Amino acid sequence: MSNLAIFPERLKELMFDNGQMTTRELAEKLGVHSTAVSGWARGASLINLANAVKIADFFECSLDYLAGVSEVDRKVPARPLEPFYTRLRAVMRSCNVTRYKIAKETEFKDVYFTKWSRGSIPDLITVIKLAQYLHISLDYLVGRTDY
């Protein structure tokens, strides 16, 4: 099963386990429109990283679990995060990889990095692919954990 199919199921599971929460209730807690949560839960729309982090923070689960990258539901408490591109650059340095190398070896062209450096937020699927390329967890990539 692909991550696109797993995410909606994990979201619905977490909502159910949290007192059979409705999409409207979760939307209110996250500060987003209920149609957005409904679309994510149906698999009808992609979620961006910022909203995926809001969900993971709310349910105190790992992004890896939420996204279907891991079967382990471990508790990850919310913590302040630096901007995505700032964190990505630090991770790239620690992995000894450059923008050029990523652009050359993957589908991520340099223009993506330019957009992220200007504050654009990637979707969750993009972050999954980056983490897989770098052989790290989603939570580490975005700064939710130190491992």
Where do the domains of the chain lie? 3-67, 84-142
The CATH classification number of 3-67 equals: 1.10.260.40
* Fold match, 3-67 / 84-142: yes
User: Domain 84-142 in CATH: superfamily?
Assistant: lambda repressor-like DNA-binding domains (1.10.260.40)
pTM score? 0.93
DSSP labels for 87-109? HHHHHHHHTT--HHHHHHHSS--
Answer for the pair 88, 130: CB distance below 8 angstroms, yes or no.
Answer: yes
pLDDT in tens, the chain (147 residues): 566 789 999 999 999 999 999 999 999 999 999 999 999 999 999 999 999 999 999 999 999 999 999 999 899 999 999 999 999 999 999 999 999 999 999 999 999 999 999 999 999 999 999 999 999 999 999 999 998
